[in-house]
Structures are given as C-alpha cells and as structure tokens.
Copies of this chain bind each other. A is one copy, B any other.
C-alpha cells in the first residue's frame, strides 16, 4: 500500500512571495521517488493560529507530513510552538537540543545569543533530529495517524536532514525508491532533444522526464523497482543518441567533466575573462581539487588591462573592438602564455543592458580556445536575456566548448 504525504512550508517569505518555495518541489520529487503519493503542498505565514490549523487539517488524511521553515531563532519562527499546540502538549526545553545548538556555535566560532536558546524548545515528547549543517535542530512527532517531520527552511540544511532522518524512516516503513539515472547536456534546446528522443522505446516500468535550467538540460530515466534491465537498456540507448552532447551522468557537473578530461591528459588550463569577470573561473573551480589542473587567469575588464596583462595589441582593439574573435584569440593566447598552461579559454562579450550596437547587439559573446595544436575562436549570440543570464550562459558555453574539444581524441 502506497503511503500518502503532505508537504508544508512556513513563513511570511512564502506567503508574501519573497521566496520561491523550492523546498516543497525538492521534497515532492524525493517522496514520489520513494513511492509516496503527495496529496498536496501547503504553506502558512508566521502565524501560530494558522499553523496549528494547518498541522491539524493536513495530518487528517495522510501518514506523513514534512514541514520546512520556522525553526530559526527569531520571534517570527513559531513552528515548535504551533506543533506543540496542535499536539496539545507544552513546549519544553530539550537539554539535548540545547547542547546541539551550543555545539554548532562552537563549530562556527560565533557566540551563541539568548535568542538561539529558543531553538531548543520542542513539543514535549518530540523526537530531536540532529542538524549537522546549521543551528536549528529539527524534530518529529505524531499527530493522529501521521508522523510529522519539522526541518529547517534553509535548503542546504533540509537536504542533509532529509537524507539523515526522513529517507531512512521511509526505508524502515518498507518504501523502495525508484531508480533514477540522469543525463546532463549543456547548450542544446529542450525541443531539439525531445525530437531526437521521441521515438525511443522504453521498456515496462521505465519512464523519461526532462528538466531544463538554461543552459543545461537533464534527461531523467526512472525505473520501477525490478526494472533494472530495462533501465540499463534505455540508458545505453540514450548515451548512443546523445553522443558527444552528453557531458556527464548523475552527479557529474560540467566543471567536473572538464576537470576529469584535463587530468586524463595531464593538462592545465587558464582563463581570460572580460564580460564574465571571473564567473567562468568560479564555475570551473566549484570542483574540489581543481588546483590539480586549474592554475589561474586574468580578468581583463578594461581594454588597457587586456593589453597590459594579456598582450592584446592596442591596434587590434582599435581595429576590431574588444568584442571580436580577433580579441578573443589574442586573450586566449595571452593568458596561456602568461599563466603557463597547456590550454586556455577566453570570453569577451556584451552582457548589457547597454553597450550593444547594430553589428554587435547585447548578448554577443566571442570565445577563444588556445590548444597546443593552435587557437580556435567562435562567436555566439545569447539574445536579450538579461545581463545575469548572458554572463551565466557565456561562462557555461566556454567550459562546454573546452569539454567537447578535450573529449575528442585529436584535440
């Protein structure tokens, strides 16, 4: 029998629209993968009366309630109080919770304030749930036939605590998760991917899903428990169809894929950035241990910095402009020389909102890729997508271009 659940999120930031509730989607997907049917999500502002009613109403028709938010130290964090009232028990100070809060402050090296002590007040009888990533302990309690888990609203803390407390509880209740395989792509439109995959046969118990967050796509294959063979066959077919567009699977990210390919060749890389101003370097070094293959780079925002630190000739800038394939070539070659690496990538473009021309509209970005065998350049147009997105697309496109070249035997 499939379990049923509801998901609650708490806080004025949700009900005034200050925050988009990504926690509920995260929980919903994971509960669904654990075979739990989510009957709904709901939120309430920081209002004890409304929260009490939400706990009581929501627990009436399901076996599991997962709540996020409202566990902080401030007066508007009222989840524990509402939970206690809903369950008809008093709030009591938990010595174990207080010790967890204290220990957390020792770890982060900051003084614990009086208001943090409030975080150790739990409904009497509640189970304390350790939070290894923050100061707010979580707790679980029973209301009617529902088990209620209260987690913090900080996503990073929620994820760790769900892994530690919620999923093991589900497993103990006999839930068997779906198998999931994820296939990541950068810079290919979703409709292009769907067209390429639409006639793909999926065996019984295997489903496919798409997720897009520009410029990335993730194709997800889900397999029912027992459909392992069908899932493996579908994964093999998907790899064949995606070819070199497939940058990595499951936990692999674009910078990790680049790092692995560099490491396999024993190569190092440098970056020369203009419009991204360091964004590509920050992205590439998200990978722990990236110092094994990333040496550094130059952020050349002003034109004369391109000349002084990268050796881009002033005459080239005067003739072609900073946003040109000529400049991108000189930047890539300059940084490869200055930093002393095997390969380098350069980015120079117009992020906007101003600075565009009819010839080079906002969103125009030029790239250079200096390899031992020579230097390549290309130009891309990211349209009028807003400054932040143009810069994010430029940084990811640069790394994806590097990845494709490193993945080719002849590079």
Q: Which residues of A contact B (CB under 8 A)?
A: 12-22, 24-32, 37-45, 50, 54, 57, 72-76, 107-110, 113-116, 133, 156, 189-192, 194-195, 198, 209-212, 220, 271, 273, 276-282, 284-286, 288-291, 294-302, 304-305, 308-309, 338-340, 352-354, 381, 383-389, 391
Q: How many copies of this protein are present in the complex?
A: 2
Chain B residues near A340: list those with CB within 8 A: 304-305, 308
CA distance A15 to B21 in the complex (A): 13
B17 and A28 contact, CB distance less than 8 A = yes
B110 and A189 contact, CB distance less than 8 A = yes
Chain B residues near A389: list those with CB within 8 A: 156
Q: Which of B15, B41, B76, B210 contacts A39 (CB 8 A)?
A: B15
A309 and B298 contact, CB distance less than 8 A = yes
Chain B residues near A73: list those with CB within 8 A: 190-191, 194
Chain B residues near A191: list those with CB within 8 A: 73-74, 113, 115-116
B21 and A25 contact, CB distance less than 8 A = yes
Say how far A254's CB is from chain B's closest CB, in angstroms.
Answer: 15
Chain B residues near A14: list those with CB within 8 A: 25, 28, 41
Q: Which of B13, B271, B352 contacts A211 (CB 8 A)?
A: B13
CA distance A296 to B22 in the complex (A): 35
Say how far A269's CB is from chain B's closest CB, in angstroms.
Answer: 10
A354 and B288 contact, CB distance less than 8 A = yes
6 tightest CB-CB pairs across the interface, nearest first?
A278-B278, A17-B29, A278-B281, A17-B28, A279-B282, A277-B285
Main secondary structure of the interface of A (DSSP, over half): mixed
A386 and B156 contact, CB distance less than 8 A = yes
B298 and A299 contact, CB distance less than 8 A = yes
Say how far A325's CB is from chain B's closest CB, in angstroms.
Answer: 18
Can you spell out 8 A-B residue pairs with CB atoms less than 8 angstroms apart? Answer: A24-B43, A37-B45, A278-B299, A281-B301, A286-B387, A297-B298, A308-B339, A309-B338
Q: Which of B16, B198, B353 contacts A29 (CB 8 A)?
A: B16
Chain B residues near A294: list those with CB within 8 A: 277, 301
Say how far A394's CB is from chain B's closest CB, in angstroms.
Answer: 11
CA distance A153 to B1 in the complex (A): 31
Known contacts A308-B339, A308-B340; 20 further A-B pairs (Cβ under 8 A): A15-B41, A16-B29, A18-B29, A19-B25, A20-B21, A20-B25, A39-B44, A39-B45, A40-B43, A74-B190, A74-B191, A75-B198, A108-B385, A113-B192, A116-B191, A291-B302, A298-B298, A298-B309, A304-B340, A305-B340
B305 and A296 contact, CB distance less than 8 A = yes
Assess A54 versus B76: contact at CB under 8 Å? Given A195-B114, A282-B391.
Answer: no
Chain B residues near A302: list those with CB within 8 A: 291, 295-296
Chain B residues near A17: list those with CB within 8 A: 24-32
A41 and B40 contact, CB distance less than 8 A = no
- Find the B residue at minimum CB distance from A118: B191
Say how far A183's CB is from chain B's closest CB, in angstroms.
Answer: 14
Say how far A309's CB is from chain B's closest CB, in angstroms.
Answer: 7
CA distance A381 to B109 in the complex (A): 8
Say how far A299's CB is from chain B's closest CB, in angstroms.
Answer: 4
- Most chain B CB within 10 A, of A41, A209, A296, is at A296
